[in-house]
Amino acid sequence: MKQKRIPLVGRQYLVPFILITSLFFLWGFAHAILNVLNKHFQEILDITKTHSAFIQMTMYMGYFIMAIPAGLFISRFGYRRGVVFGLLLYGIGSLLFIPGQQYLSFNLFLFALFVIGCGLTFLETAANPYATELGAKETAASRLNFAQSFNGLGCICAPVLAGLLLFSKDGQTGSGNVALPYICMGLVVLLVALVFSRIKLPEIEHSVEVDEAGNKVGLWSHRLFIFGLIALFAYEVGEISINSFFINYVVEQNWMNAREASVVLSFGGLGLFMLGRFAGSWIMGRVRAEKMLLVCATGTVVTTSLVLLDVGMVSLAALLCGYAFEAIMFPTIFALSLRGLGNHTKRASSFLMMSPVGGVVGPLLMGLVADYATMVWAFIVPLVAYCVVWAYARKMVSVSTASSI
């Protein structure tokens, strides 16, 4: 059934929405640059794929450890201070790459990434639910997808910049300074933190949810939220593990070298990812988010299966198409999981932001399978993850259909 057209953002919230949306680019850049660091550190430090997966593991472990403290901080001090604190941690972590480069210490790089991960946790715990609140609840998923589209823009820029700096024209590791993009990023982030420290963002108030007897309803009584939390974790396993080993996969298939692969990852995979989010935001202004999620989940299952079948360039095309299908998953699952939670929204958001721990599990499992089998067989990990997302989407469509009868 066609959804009634509702404005994407409330007029009174337009300026806050623009400011919050700018943050999505910053953490998109931080996430995507990791995908180039993976290959770079394998070569310059002579480590295995499993060992290089610690890059993702360390950063995303910051999400798991800091998500609950971030939620408590934001519940007490508000969205704006949560954003500022997150930006400060992000900036400090980026500048820690300077001593890491000086001593060429893998452990120092990992510590810097952990600090960045903690900062991103505060940013995402504040910005994601805040974006869903700045307008009608019917357009929450579409609004968050639109904001997250700028995350995709950051994802495009990062591998191009890092790939050009770190890999020579023949695809081998060059003499580029890995700290340079992080220094630039850190200075920009600290400047943005100064801007947010001097502006006011309206806080969204929620009523306390009670049952028919007048008793408070707890967060964990919402079973669809729990399923959404599991689905979001599964999505992170699939998306981050594929990003982590995209360059390894295409290089080992003898399709291109590492430098070319970083460009293809940016403009091919992550370009489709960004376009998928913009298109998804537009489509979900016209159809229900649950149906869109089910279609896209089916697409990721099919495309990842084609990669596993190892059918030459068809597998490469499928891998790239998978980026378009997965694009709307995080913001859509996030928005659907928060639906109807009322005063539990900030706390629920902090639990949802623990889901990037899938970035610890996915790359590690994929790296292990790749080291002991082949890079192709490693795609069994994201396939299983996308099947879980498909099951969640199917459940949400059923619930939506039942409620509309």
Model confidence pLDDT, tens digit, residues 222-269:
889 999 999 999 999 999 899 888 888 998 888 888 778 878 887 788
Helix (H) or strand (E) holding 139: none
Model confidence at 17: pLDDT above 80? yes
Chain-centroid distance of CA 244 in Å reads 13
Least confident of 307-311, 332-336, 350-354: 350-354
The sign one gets for the Cα dihedral 40, 41, 47, 50 is negative
What percent of the chain lies above the pLDDT cut of 90? 28
Whole-number Å distance between alpha carbons of 103 and 98: 9
pLDDT digit string, tens, across residues 27-36: 788 877 776 7
Closest alpha carbon to 120 in 157, 167, 85? 85
Whole-number Å distance between alpha carbons of 30 and 45: 21
> What's the predicted TM-score (pTM) here?
0.75
SS3 state at 371: helix
Q: Are 254 and 384 in contact (CB under 8 A)?
A: no
Comparing 371 with 383, which gets the higher pLDDT? 383
Confidence grade of residue 394 (pLDDT, cut at 50, 70, 90): very high
So what's the pLDDT on residue 405? Answer: 61
Whole-number Å distance between alpha carbons of 183 and 185: 5
Model confidence at 39: pLDDT above 80? no
Burial of 219 (0-12, 13-18, 19+ CB in 10 A): middle
Model confidence at 2: pLDDT above 50? no
Confidence grade of residue 124 (pLDDT, cut at 50, 70, 90): confident
What percent of the chain lies above the pLDDT cut of 70? 86
- Extract the tokens encoding 293: 């999620």
CA atoms within 13 A on the CB side of 397: 16
Confidence grade of residue 1 (pLDDT, cut at 50, 70, 90): very low
So what's the pLDDT on residue 207? Answer: 55
So what's the pLDDT on residue 280? Answer: 87
pLDDT digit string, tens, across residues 188-198: 899 989 988 88
Q: Are 181 and 33 in contact (CB under 8 A)?
A: yes
To the nearest 5 percent, what fractions of the chain are helix, strand and coil?
Answer: 80, 0, 20
Q: Are 327 and 24 in contact (CB under 8 A)?
A: no
So what's the pLDDT on residue 48? Answer: 75
Q: Which residues contact 199 (CB under 8 A, 6 or more apart)?
A: 19, 80
Closest alpha carbon to 26 in 160, 120, 122? 120
- Extract the tokens encoding 190: 């600290």
Model confidence at 128: pLDDT above 70? yes
So what's the pLDDT on residue 290? Answer: 92
Comparing 201 with 190, which gets the higher pLDDT? 190
What are the beta bridge partners of residue 232? none
Across 125-148, average pLDDT: 81
CA atoms within 13 A on the CB side of 333: 31
Model confidence at 3: pLDDT above 60? no
Mean pLDDT score of the chain: 83
pLDDT digit string, tens, across residues 165-187: 665 555 454 445 677 778 888 89
